[in-house]
Amino acid sequence: MKNKVIGNTDIVSGILDEQNEFTSVYSKGQAWLNELRIAGKNAFSEQGVPKFKDEEWKYTHIAKALGEHYHLPHTYSLPANQDLSNYKLLDANTVTLVYINGIPVPELSDKLISEGVTAAPASDVENSSEFKTFLGSVADISNHNFSACNTAFLNNPCIINVKAGVQSPKTIQIIHLLGTDDNDSMCFPRTLIHTEKGAYVEVVESYYSLPNSNQNFCAAVTEIIEEENSHVDYYKYEDVSDSTILTTNTYFKLQRDSRSESFTFSLNGKLIRNDLDIKLTAENGHAELHGIYLPNGQQHFDNHTLVDHISPHCYSNELYKGVMGGSAHAVFNGKVYVRRDAQKTNAYQSNNNILLSDEAQIDTKPQLEIYADDVKCSHGATTGQLDDDALFYLRARGIGENEARNLLVTAFSGEALNEIPNETLRDVFADKIHRKLSVMSH
Amino acid sequence: MLNIKDLRAGIEGKEILKGLNLSVGEGEVHAIMGPNGSGKSTLANVLAGRDDYEVLGGSVLFEGNDLIEMSPEDRARAGIFLAFQYPVEIPGVSNANFLKTAVNEIRKSQGLEPLDSKDFLILMKEKLALVEMDKQMTSRAVNEGFSGGEKKRNEIFQMAMLQPKLAVLDETDSGLDIDALKIVANGVNALRDGKRSFVVITHYQRLLDYIVPDFVHVLYNGQIVKSGTKELALELEEKGYDWIKNEVAV
């Protein structure tokens, strides 16, 4: 299923021009990244920007949303008096790495000093070329336009590595700050997470727009490679401005006996598209993937997930919940493949939606393709409105209409929230949900 | 306390209450009986303020205030409580959280400070005993997976927690076995304090053996066609509703 559709040629040639300029500057730096950049550029120039004829982008007209010209930002500095604490989701036991438009900012970032755990920009990692075999190994640049585009601009990726048997005592939060005060900037954050045999790490990747930033576009890619019996908890938190277009491609590759928990929380943005690909490549892999999306007004949030059961005895469990207000539009597309060899697979998928207004919209499509014959699989999607009977029941007990709505929607999203292993984050996210709900229009 | 005058109301364009008059004084217990389709549930829903029901004419005053103009939450805050015929299941909202929100919203409307967790737990424990409910029920989602009897007990428990001035019980006895019925009736009787008023809507006389009313009214075809004391209920039990229907026809 190759995307042969070339999008708006103006934007593509504009991005490629920027890439040429970029290469002339950066190819001298991290030389080992050069080959990847060239491959990414070639793949992107072949694919371009997806058009709505592309089945994978049927409901998300990103070419139209993007418009025409984008350039790399010229300034990377944080505005004066900017308080980073607004962006930190966890306080205790957390190491924070700050990236502005995909470029690391060492003076704002913590230095991680922990035996066996690396979390730093590639430029600060000794022998960073050791990661050559991992970087780009699971990102699918031949099928994912924006992974290709991101790879074309590879510069100084964030590298997280946990040595065999090490349980990282610190949570790593990457704060991505996006946008500049000039129009139409673009950026390409890149992260690689690698856990060696028996290792564990918790990573929070969060995306925010800089204050007063104008229309901007961010195409982020994260690759997570888990060796045997390792475990990664990965949270993606998206709270960007109404003039930010954000695409994320997240790839997991799970080896034997490894486990992943991912949670994707889309809170705010003009257009957000998340592609999450999980490959269960060896026996007894366990993947939990959950998410919440709350678009309001004119916002458009799209989640595409793919769980590829390649090997037998693996387990996947997926629950995404959406609440749409105003004339927002959400898309959920969840694919589960169970390949012929993947006997004894357990795969569960569920997507539930609530439309708060008549103008809000959801396109949901759960897809299950099973080629093995001894599996347990289920999938389903629901879309509804708030239960009028429940709303009346609460009001008849003296609870005001807004508070009653809030209680019901909080309860609805709580089911996905309860899947979060980190209780502190669960509370932080519950609070974010509560705040967003109070401004959502019905 | 409650004055209903010439109330006409219906649903989906169909008039069901056709000029209903009822006056409930402080501390009184009124039973409203009637055959199916006579308008009993319509009356309960109109009093609680359900949107689907349309008031076509007449007036409902509660302590002198026009009830029809008030939102459901404002009615509850003013002291009206409806025990639902079919209590609604609310997944994901715990009984305790729901009640705490309700108690504190009502307190707020009365200018009172919210109850802190400790006082709330003490209050809850006391009221749970009233309906012989296990404390575990409060951590479960509202009515979710409750049996029919548990749901009705939960309604009385909520009533005890919210301490309304006027409680409307909509067929609270329907579908209950005799043990559950006694528990529910005991809960209600414990809340009879000479000031709180009750409108007990029921199809069967059986409930009135346990909740003894001061007045009994027969609702038929959208109007109260006969009123009396508790003996009227016994007469109805003996003769059935056809007797009333015939009498009205004459």
Find how far residue A418's CA is from the centre of its chain. Answer: 19
**End-to-end alpha-carbon separation of chain A, Å?**
39
How far, in Å, CA of A390 to CA of A324, rounded?
19
**pLDDT value at residue A330:** 98
Only one residue has tokens 């409750």, namely B146
Q: Tens digit of pLDDT for each residue in A331-364?
A: 999 999 999 999 999 999 999 999 999 999 999 9
Find how far residue B229's CA is from the centre of its chain. Answer: 19
CA distances from residue B61 to A280, A326, B18, B75 in whole angstroms, order as listed? 67, 38, 17, 11
Q: Tens digit of pLDDT for each residue in B57-82?
A: 999 999 999 999 999 999 999 999 99
Whether residue A77 is predicted with pLDDT greater than 70 in this model: the reply is: no
Residue of B nearest to A392 (CA): B50
The token pair at A2 is 């190759």
| A419/B contact by beta carbon, under 8 A | no
Contact A393 B90 (CB under 8 A): yes
Identify the top-confidence range among A98-112, A303-317, A417-431.
A303-317
Residue of A nearest to B50 (CA): A392
Q: Who wins on pLDDT, A133 or A7?
A: A133
A145, A40 contact by CB (below 8 A)? no
Closest CA to B203 of B7, B87, B39, B49: B39
Q: Determine whether B223 is exposed, middle or buried from the number of CB atoms within 10 Å of its CB (0-12, 13-18, 19+).
A: buried
Q: Tens digit of pLDDT for each residue in B39-62?
A: 999 999 999 999 899 999 999 999
A409, A438 contact by CB (below 8 A)? no
CA distances from residue A239 to A78, A246, A264, A272, A335 in whole angstroms, order as listed? 17, 10, 11, 10, 26
Mean pLDDT of chain B: 93
Whether residue B119 is predicted with pLDDT greater than 80 in this model: the reply is: yes
Whether residue B245 is predicted with pLDDT greater than 70 in this model: the reply is: yes
**pLDDT value at residue B77:** 96
Whether residue A82 is predicted with pLDDT greater than 90 in this model: the reply is: no
DSSP A214: -
Using a CB-CB distance cutoff of 8 angstroms, which residues of chain A are in contact with residue B98?
Answer: 394, 397, 399, 407
How far, in Å, CA of B96 to CA of B104, rounded?
12
Whether residue A81 is predicted with pLDDT greater than 70 in this model: the reply is: no
Closest CA to B30 of B225, B198, B224: B198
How far, in Å, CA of B30 to CA of A213, rounded?
66
Nearest Cα of chain B lies from the Cα of A393 at a distance, in angstroms, of 7
* Listed range (A271-280, A317-326, B130-139) with the worst mean pLDDT: B130-139
Q: Determine whether B111 is exposed, middle or buried from the number of CB atoms within 10 Å of its CB (0-12, 13-18, 19+).
A: exposed
| A416/B contact by beta carbon, under 8 A | no
Is residue A69 very low, low, confident or very high in pLDDT (cuts 50, 70, 90)?
Answer: confident
**pLDDT value at residue A246:** 98
- Best residue of A393, A409, A412, A419 to probe chain B, by most B CBs closer than 10 Å: A393
Nearest Cα of chain A lies from the Cα of B73 at a distance, in angstroms, of 4
The token pair at B72 is 């459901």
Domain ranges of chain A: 9-282
| B84/A contact by beta carbon, under 8 A | yes
DSSP-assigned letters across all residues of A322-352: EEE-TT-EEEEEEEEEE-TT-TT-EEEEEEE
The token pair at B213 is 């009313």
Nearest Cα of chain A lies from the Cα of B48 at a distance, in angstroms, of 7
Closest CA to A228 of A313, A140, A165: A165
Contact B73 A400 (CB under 8 A): yes
Q: Which fold has domain B2-91+165-249?
A: Rossmann fold (3.40.50)
Rounded (5°) CA angle A247-A250-A253: 165
A171, A95 contact by CB (below 8 A)? yes
Closest CA to B33 of B188, B196, B166, B228: B228
Contacts of B184 (CB under 8 A, 6+ apart): B131, B152, B153, B156, B172, B173, B176
Phi and psi for B166 in degrees, rounded to 5? -130, 125
Domain ranges of chain B: 2-91+165-249
Q: At A236, is the secondary structure helix, strand, or coil?
A: strand
Phi and psi for A331 in degrees, rounded to 5? -130, 135
**pLDDT value at residue B241:** 84
The token pair at A235 is 């949270």
Residue A346 identity? N
DSSP-assigned letters across all residues of A136-190: TSS--TTT-HHHHHHHHT--S-EEEEE-TT-EEEEEEEEEEEE--SSSSEEE--E
Q: At A197, is the secondary structure helix, strand, or coil?
A: coil
Whether residue A29 is predicted with pLDDT greater than 80 in this model: the reply is: no
Q: Who wins on pLDDT, A362 or A2?
A: A362
Using a CB-CB distance cutoff of 8 angstroms, which residues of chain B are in contact with residue A396?
Answer: 48-49, 72-73, 75-76, 82, 84
This model of the complex carries an ipTM of 0.95
Q: Tens digit of pLDDT for each residue in A282-291?
A: 999 999 999 9
CA distances from residue A153 to A27, A38, A102, A119, A157 in whole angstroms, order as listed? 10, 9, 10, 21, 10
Q: Determine whether A88 is exposed, middle or buried from the number of CB atoms within 10 Å of its CB (0-12, 13-18, 19+).
A: middle
Of B90, B102, B105, the CB nearest to A390: B90
Is residue B236 very low, low, confident or very high in pLDDT (cuts 50, 70, 90)?
Answer: confident
DSSP H or E segment with residue A10: helix A9-26
Nearest Cα of chain B lies from the Cα of A415 at a distance, in angstroms, of 7
For residues A5-25, give the mean pLDDT. Answer: 75
Residue of A nearest to B85 (CA): A393
Using a CB-CB distance cutoff of 8 angstroms, which residues of chain A are in contact with residue B48?
Answer: 392, 396
Nearest Cα of chain A lies from the Cα of B170 at a distance, in angstroms, of 14
Q: How many residues does this entry show for chain A?
A: 442
How far, in Å, CA of A52 to CA of A47, rounded?
13
Q: Determine whether B250 is exposed, middle or buried from the number of CB atoms within 10 Å of its CB (0-12, 13-18, 19+).
A: exposed
Whether residue A161 is predicted with pLDDT greater than 80 in this model: the reply is: yes
Nearest Cα of chain A lies from the Cα of B214 at a distance, in angstroms, of 26
The token pair at A8 is 């708006």
Q: Who wins on pLDDT, A259 or A403?
A: A259
Residue of B nearest to A414 (CA): B92
Contacts of A107 (CB under 8 A, 6+ apart): none
Give me the torsion for CA of A320, A321, A325, A331, rounded to 10°.
Answer: 30
A324, A360 contact by CB (below 8 A)? yes
Using a CB-CB distance cutoff of 8 angstroms, which residues of chain A are in contact with residue B102?
Answer: 394, 397-399
Residue of B nearest to A387 (CA): B90
Contact A397 B162 (CB under 8 A): yes
How far, in Å, CA of B42 to CA of A205, rounded?
54
Is residue A80 very low, low, confident or very high in pLDDT (cuts 50, 70, 90)?
Answer: low
Helix ranges (DSSP H) in A273-400: 388-395
How far, in Å, CA of A336 to CA of A248, rounded?
19
How far, in Å, CA of A76 to CA of A259, rounded?
36
Interface of A with B in 357-396 (CB under 8 A): 387-390, 392-396
Phi and psi for A402 in degrees, rounded to 5? -65, -45
